[in-house]
Amino acid sequence: MRMAAAFAGLMAMCLSASAQSVTPPGLPPLPHLTSPRLYVLDCGTIISHEPERFGLSRQDVSDPDFSDPCFLVMHPKGILLFDTGLTDAQVGRPIYENRIGYEGQLKTTTLKGELANIGVTSAMITYLAISHSHWDHVGNGNAYAGSTWLARKAEYDVMFGSAANAVAKSNYAALAHAKIQYIEGDHDVFGDGSVMLLSTPGHTPGHQSLYVKLANTGGVVVSGDLYHYPAERTQGKMPAREVASGTPESRLKVDDFLARTHSRLWIGHSIDWFRDAVKAPGWYD
C-alpha cells in the first residue's frame, strides 16, 4: 500500500509539473521571442461582384470576391490584434441571412477559434487596432474591448458619432468603454520600430495600415482598404469618392515607405494573395 501510494504521489507530481510546462501549440513564451511573428487569420469571405465600384471592369480582376483576414502580431513586449473581421455570429448561417447591400458574407470559422489554434485568448491580447470601422473589419470588436485600443480620434468620431452605422456599431459598441490610447501620425506600437501603425486616411478619415518588420520574411505592410484589388494599384484606380478624400496621397506615402524600407505590400482583400498566404497556425517571422 505504501509503495502504491508513493507511486501515485510521484505520478501526480509528474503530471502537475508537465501541465505547468506545457506551452500551447505554436506559441512560445513571449519573452523568448527576439523579433515579431505575424499570423494571418481567416476572418471570412465577402461575396462581391462589382469591381466597377473601384474603377475596374470584371476583366481586370481574376476573382471579384474578397478575402477578409485579420492579423495577429506577437512581439517580445506583447500581442497586437489588427482587425476583427466578420462577426463570429455568422458562422454556420446561410448567406442570405448575412447580406449588407449588394454584398454577401460567408464565415466558416470564428476569430476566437482562429486565435485558440495558436494558443491565444482575448485576455492575452495587449493591443487592439483596426484598419478602419467598416463592418467587415470590426465584426468582433466587443470581444476584444479588454485590450488597450489604439484609436485615431477621426475614426472614433465616425464609429460613435451621430452618423455611425448602426449595424456595424452593434458589434463594437463595447469599445466605447475600453481603455483607449489615442494615436496620431505613424505610431510605433512597441517602441522599437518593428511594428508600426501607418496613418493612411482616405477610405475613411482615420484609416490606417500595419507595418511589421520580420527578421526572415522582411518588412510587410498590410494595406487595410487602401486597396481592394491588385489591379487598383497597377492601374491607378480607386472608388470615385476617394479621389479627393486623401487616398491618392496615402497611396503615394505607402509606396515611398515600401521603397525606403524594402518592404512588400499585402492587399488583404485580394483572394489571390490570401489563397497563397501562410495561414494560422503557421506564421511569418
Query: What is the pLDDT, as a whole number, of residue 2?
Result: 40
Please give the model's pTM, rounded to 2 decimal places: 0.89
The secondary structure of the chain, three-state, reads CHHHHHHHHHHHHHHHHHHHHCCCCCCCCHHHCCCCEEEEEEEEEEECCCHHHHCCCHHHCCCCCEEEEEEEEEECCEEEEECCCCCHHHCCCCHHHCEECCEEEECCCCHHHHHHCCCCCHHHCCEEECCCCCCCCCCCHHHHCCCEEEECHHHHHHHHCCCCCHHHHCCCHHHHHCEEEECCCCEECCCCCCEEEEECCCCCCCCEEEEEEECCCEEEEECCCCCCCHHHHHHCCCCHHHCCCCHHHHHHHHHHHHHHHCCEEECCCEHHHHHHCCCCCCCEC
139-190 confidence digits (pLDDT tens): 999 999 999 999 999 999 999 999 888 888 999 999 999 999 999 999 999 9
240-272 confidence digits (pLDDT tens): 999 999 999 999 999 999 999 999 999 999 999
29-276 domain in CATH 3.60.15.10?
yes
Whether residue 230 is predicted with pLDDT greater than 90 in this model: the reply is: yes
* Average pLDDT along the chain: 90
Domain ranges, ordered by start, for the chain: 29-276
197-215 confidence digits (pLDDT tens): 999 999 999 999 999 999 9
88-130 confidence digits (pLDDT tens): 999 989 888 888 877 889 999 999 999 999 999 999 999 999 9
What angle is formed at CA 191 by the lines to CA 187 and CA 194, rounded to 5 degrees? 80
Give backbone dihedrals phi and psi of 182, rounded to 5 degrees, phi first. -75, 135
Within its chain, how far is the Cα of 173 from the centroid? Answer: 18
Query: What is the pLDDT, as a whole number, of residue 1?
Result: 41
pLDDT grade for 8, boundaries at 50, 70 and 90: very low
Rounded Cα distance, 70 and 112, in Å: 11
Query: What is the pLDDT, as a whole number, of residue 28?
Result: 54
